[in-house]
Amino acid sequence: MSLLDASLFGAASVAVSAASLVATGVFHPRVMLFGPGIWRGPSRQNAVALTFDDGPHPHYTARIAEVLARHGARATFFCIGRELERYASLARELLDAGHQLENHTYRHDTGRDLFSASRLEGDLERCQQVLVQVTGARARYYRPAVGIRNPAVHEAARRVGMTVVTWTLAARDGARRLTPKRALALAERARPGSILALHDGSPRERSPLREHTLQQLPLLLSRLRERGFSFVTLSELLSA
Ligand SMILES: [Zn+2]
């Protein structure tokens, strides 16, 4: 999500009534209206955390990991539990390369799950169990599906013992093409401690959008490196 988009979302969020906010939730990644959450890390080190949502994906995750390896970058992958079950070997390769895996729900449901803390708790716990099988440990961080936060999301996070994490800047590559111009703009907006949101997964088997992510990722990483940033996992960023 760009700053412009974020501010538009923010204005829209403020404009709607409190009642409908409770019914749907907050999209603005920096507004924690219904509970605690993290959208950036400390600015003490010149580092950013790259995050990738919705994988693992059989056609894209390994290719994204190759680009990251070429740039000496480690990242955090917010995995969908159902995909993690299907492509556990891809996830293990990410772990072996030093990346971090976290919880992006089991079903990635943006309907009924979002309005019931109990349903969402069950879904998050199911993803935790898959993560334990793959990584040997429970995840600490939970990125809600499509970034929506409402009372059910925060309550479910609390019950499962996870911290809600959104982002500082989003590529919005789940919705539109990541162009060179937008990749460079993202790099220019980054600040020490920024959490950047991108996607490695896709609901489709083949995605033109993901090809654009892959094409522009080297440009994004190169420009961030030119600006002096290192690329760390979310845990490293937040423990700095
Ligand atoms: Zn997602």
Q: What separation in Å is there between the alpha carbon of 15 and the centre of ligand 1? A: 25
Whether residue 169 has pLDDT greater than 60: yes
- Give the phi and the psi of residue 6 in degrees, each rounded to 5: -60, -45
Count how many domains the chain has: 1
pTM of the predicted model, to two decimals? 0.91
Tokens representing 88 are 């556990």
E-only strand ranges, the chain: 47-53, 76-79, 100-103, 141-142, 163-164, 169-170, 195-199, 230-231
Helix (H) or strand (E) holding 51: strand 47-53
CB 73 within 8 A of CB 198: no
In contact, 174 and 56? CB cutoff 8 Å: no
Q: Cβ atoms within 10 A of the Cβ of 188, count?
A: 10
* Mean predicted confidence (pLDDT) in 43-61: 97
For residue 104, what are the CA distances in angstroms to 13, 66, 127, 146? 23, 22, 8, 9
CA of 76 to the centre of ligand 1 (A): 13
Distance 138 CA to ligand 1 centre (A): 19
Task: Say whether pLDDT at 176 is over 50.
Answer: yes
Q: Helices 61-70 and 208-226: crossing angle, nearest 10°?
A: 20
CATH number, domain of 67, equals 3.20.20.370
Residue 132: give the domain boundaries.
3-238
pLDDT band at 12 (very low <50, low <70, confident <90, very high): very low
CA of 145 to the centre of ligand 1 (A): 5
What separation in Å is there between the alpha carbon of 107 and the centre of ligand 1? Answer: 10
